[in-house]
Structure 1
Amino acid sequence: MILEVKIIIYLFVFVLGSCIGSFLNVLIFRIPKHEEFVYGRSHCMSCGHELNWYDMFPIFSFIFLRGKCRYCGAKLSVQYPIIEALNAILWCLCVHLFGLSMIGILTAALLSALIVLSVIDERTQEIPVGINIFIAVLGAIKVVSELIAAATGDSIDFLSGMLLDEYSPMEPISTQTIGIGHILISHALGFAVVAGVLLLILLISGGAAIGGGDVKLMAAAGLFLGLRLTIIAFFVGCIAAAVIHLIRMAFFHAGRKLAMGPYLSIGIGLMALFGSSMVRAYVALVL
């Protein structure tokens, strides 16, 4: 594929990702308040003035308005451009790793959901049930895609041939050597094992050690990732929580209580992006 076409595709994905990032900001602010986020008009959080279309260009509006509301001059949260840029970059990374494929689309949607979940959990100590359900639905779609691919002897990346497939550094996940039974067992155990252990800890500790939202998150993520990557994702999340929160306690006077959602999301996101290639590299090294 010629370089110009690749650049256009990445620019399109970046713009689309930043626009979705703008919607993620809406979800982050409105879901905890139980406000309408589909049909409600965007407005300034300070003066309540409804925003026009030219006030809502992702990233650029914040820069041009110098981080202030056009109508009342109130300072805007830096969260807006950060979330928009982060989502755009992650979506471009998905295209880089997976091409324009089903697994790339599902992974991009998963990462967007994890962004919303992480910010809300950090602020409220609660993970919205709807976000976990959305992740579980993504996982179910991924399982169905793998089953169809296994039955037809094709790759689950059945869209990757459209664009960027020759550029993607990630090998398509071949299902020719993966049976339907293996797929079902892996995702079923991924859904149940880690979440089951966490549920037991939840019941024993009475919620002091882990929250119900964290249990549901790992169950939904397990359906998406399968057993092996879910276990790795959980341990990566725990390590991230220990390291990052100790730093926050030492230098930023954070309390002992922490929201696990953001840290579990780090592990889940890393495994969704790089887990399969990491496992393949490890197996190749060992064997």
Structure 2
Amino acid sequence: MTPRTRLSAKTAEPRRISLVWLVLIAVLALGATVLHRHNPLSQRAQDYAAAVSAASAATYVTLRTLNAALSTAQEIEVGASLGVSGTMQPGKMLEPVDDTIERIADVVFVLMLVTGVLAVAMGPVGAVGAAMIAGASALWIIDRLVGARDVISLLSRRLVWYGGFFLLALPGAFVLTDLLADLLTGDVMAQQQVIIAEITDTVEVDPALARDQGWWDRLTEGMSEVDRYRDLATNIWERADDLIASYLTLLSIYIFQIFVLPALLVGAFFVSVRFFANRP
């Protein structure tokens, strides 16, 4: 048997599939396209992406709250008399820390948007994959009805494999990531969150200041707030390295959970799909 004959025999394998099965596959694929919002695999992948997005959003809000508190602490003035009367703002020493926190918040915001897009796009991407499988089934049906065509068989096989990648492998990679992420990074994330809570436990503003009070209460509580901001500034200045390191670790964990680990799994699936799709 010549190589060309072997190639024709291999590409003709899908033609042995019963026409009834091809029609059934096409109908199921079309159903998966139309009802992509109810695909359990895509739903699980969407839930994971949405969970990471919610966690990163909470981190972003914390960063911005800390950013605002540091900005307020920088504006506190202290009277000074060194031969010349004037005021000082010792909180300005926190400006490098404040700028770093702001930059980390910007990256977290971008990550939050990306994970939000992934959560929305997972279902439509699966619908595209199902449509590709339906198209491949339709081409196989045409191949059975009008006669053998190697090009149709080759195109159909590739559509099936790449359609399966979008329908199953892509959301499956995020589902596997969901199963592995907490096992691989859960203890580190919990440890860093404890460190951040210890350093920033005085950031929250007392809601009592929002009540209608007398001028003396407002004055004394306002002075108490100044003391709290000074304590916060001192605490952050003393542990600035720990705070920034913890936030950078959290950011790295988010990137690992939504980019690195899924990319590794998707890459492995894609290499496998490409191998089978391009087999002669």
| TM-score of the alignment, normalized to the shorter chain, above 0.5 | no
Which structure: larger Rg? 2
| Greater RCO, CA 8 A, separation 6+ | 2
Q: Which has the higher helix share?
A: 2
Superposition TM-score, scaled by structure 2 size: 0.28
